[in-house]
Amino acid sequence: MLEEAIQGLKIDPDGVYVDVTFGGGGHSKAILENLSKHGRLLAFDQDLAVEQNAIPDERFQLINGNFSNLKRYLKFNGVTAVDGILADFGVSSHQFDTGSRGFSTRYYGPLDM
The answer to whether residue 111 is domain-embedded is no
CA distances to 34, 106, 109 from 103, in Å: 33, 9, 8
Give pTM, 2 decimals. Answer: 0.83
Does residue 89 lie in a domain region? yes
Which CATH number does the domain housing residue 88 bear?
A: 3.40.50.150
What tens digit of pLDDT does each residue of 38-85 get? 999 999 998 888 999 999 999 999 999 999 999 999 999 999 999 999
Q: Is residue 93 part of a domain?
A: yes
Give the structural domain span for 97: 13-52+63-101
Would you say residue 83 lies in a domain? yes
Residue 49 · residue 102 · CB < 8 Å: no
Banded pLDDT at 21 (limits 50, 70, 90): very high
| Residue 25 falls inside a structural domain | yes
Tell whether 110 is covered by a domain.
no
Looking only at the bridges linking them, the beta strands covering 60-63 and 16-19 are unpaired
How many domains is the chain built from? 1
Count of C-beta atoms within a 10 Å radius of residue 22 = 29
Q: Is 24 contained in some domain? A: yes
